[in-house]
Structure 1
Amino acid sequence: MTLNDLYATILARKNADPNSSWTAQLLAKGPEKCAEKFGEEAVEAIIEAVKDDKSALTNEAADVLYHLLVMLAARDVPFTDVLDVLAQRQSKSGIAEKAGR
């Protein structure tokens, strides 16, 4: 499964019955709750990175990616827009790109 596939699945569940899926439940709680959940997962990933637990970090990284996509969907930000920004940045060095912001 690619991130594009995952995002499409999340979008498909955006208007689903909240009793039918975790994604639908999360989206039904609103963008603020989705952002809060993303933040929790990011902190958990940081903790596992500091602990150097590669297996746990791998699992938390998957959670971070999933919850990032849910948060984007909650705010109607197309994942392709994020990919476009990354593509634009790829043509510059990181230092030059940051200086241009």
Structure 2
Amino acid sequence: MKIDFQKDGNDLVPAIIQDAKTKNVLMLGFMNDEALQKTQDTGKVTFFSRSKQRLWTKGEESGNFLELVDIKVDCDNDTLLVMANPTGPTCHKGTDTCWGESNKQSYGFLTQLEEVIQSRKENQDNEKSYVASLFREGINKIAQKVGEEAVETVIESKDNNDELFLDESADLLFHYLILLQAKGYQLADVVKVLESRH
């Protein structure tokens, strides 16, 4: 890695800390050459503290270390992306991130969809909601729908109509997410099983 520590004239470069698993941004710090070397040597993310004017290993007082996974430098060679595994809250205020956000795994739109399904599960009296109606009918009906959609997906996979195949695949995934929540689980629980097999 060729890093331009002299670009701003202070021997420091910004270091963006990202959770290696969730990909959430945890904090921003600054590194000089010595902090970078110590980070690589110890496997614990170390910064140059501008307020203390010394090297500072994140977690040296709290025990909430950032365990190094990887470091990348940007296209201008003046900013680092540090991927790490946090061993506790990252912010000194006790929050997961320095922006006060929860460091939860997100699967983008699928996470949003899970939140909608959870809301429908909690409000089953919503007469207009298809999802709420499935929860009212119970696990047998939900499991039946997953089976139906699985069969339809298999049938469409044998034809050449990509649009119908994708429609049925979406229906299958949607109903599977409902089944997961009916059983008290979410997509993250399935991902953990897959990760354990990897």
| TM interval, short-chain normalised | 0.7 to 0.9
Match of 1:4 among 81, 100, 111: 111
Q: Report the 3-state secondary structure (helix = DSSP H, G, I; strand = E; otherwise coil) of the residue aligned with 1:19.
A: coil
Q: Using the alignment, how far apart are the partners of 2:149 and 2:155 within structure 1? A: 10
- Aligned alpha-carbon RMSD (Å): 1.3
Q: Which has the higher contact order (CA 8 A, sep 6+)?
A: 1
Match of 1:15 among 117, 122, 126: 122
* Alignment partner of 1:61 is 2:164: no
Q: 1:69-84 maps to which residues of 2 (within 5 A)?
A: 69-84=177-192
Shift of 1:18: 4.0
- Gapped runs of 5+ residues in structure 2? 1-107
Shift of 1:14: 0.2
Q: Using the alignment, how far apart are the partners of 1:76 and 1:52 within structure 2? A: 37
Shift of 1:5: 1.5
TM-score between both structures, scaled by the size of structure 2: 0.43
Shift of 1:78: 2.7
Match of 2:154 among 42, 46, 62: 46
8 Å CA contact 1:18–1:28 kept in 2: the answer is no
Q: Highest Rg: 1 or 2?
A: 2
Residue in 2 that maps onto 1:95 = none
Residue in 2 that maps onto 1:33 = 141
8 Å CA contact 2:177–2:186 kept in 1: the answer is no
The structure with the greater share of residues assigned to helix is: 1
Percent identical among aligned pairs is 38
Taking a change above 3 Å as real, the CA distance of residues 64 and 45 of structure 1, as seen in their structure-2 partners, is: same
Q: Which amino acid aligns with 1:26?
A: L
Q: Using the alignment, how far apart are the partners of 1:66 and 1:29 within structure 2? A: 17
Q: Report the 3-state secondary structure (helix = DSSP H, G, I; strand = E; otherwise coil) of the residue aligned with 1:55.
A: helix
- Following TM superposition, the consecutive aligned residue runs of length 4 or more in structure 1 with deviations greater than 2 angstroms are none
Q: Using the alignment, how far apart are the partners of 1:62 and 1:85 within structure 2? A: 22
Shift of 1:27: 1.0
Shift of 1:3: 1.5
Structure 1 stretch 79-88 or stretch 39-48: which is displaced more? Answer: 79-88
Q: Using the alignment, how far apart are the partners of 1:88 and 1:2 within structure 2? A: 24
Q: Deviations over 1:23-53 (max 9, x none)?
A: 0001111011100000000101111001122
Q: Using the alignment, how far apart are the partners of 1:6 and 1:18 within structure 2? A: 17
Residue in 2 that maps onto 1:98 = none
TM-score between both structures, scaled by the size of structure 1: 0.81
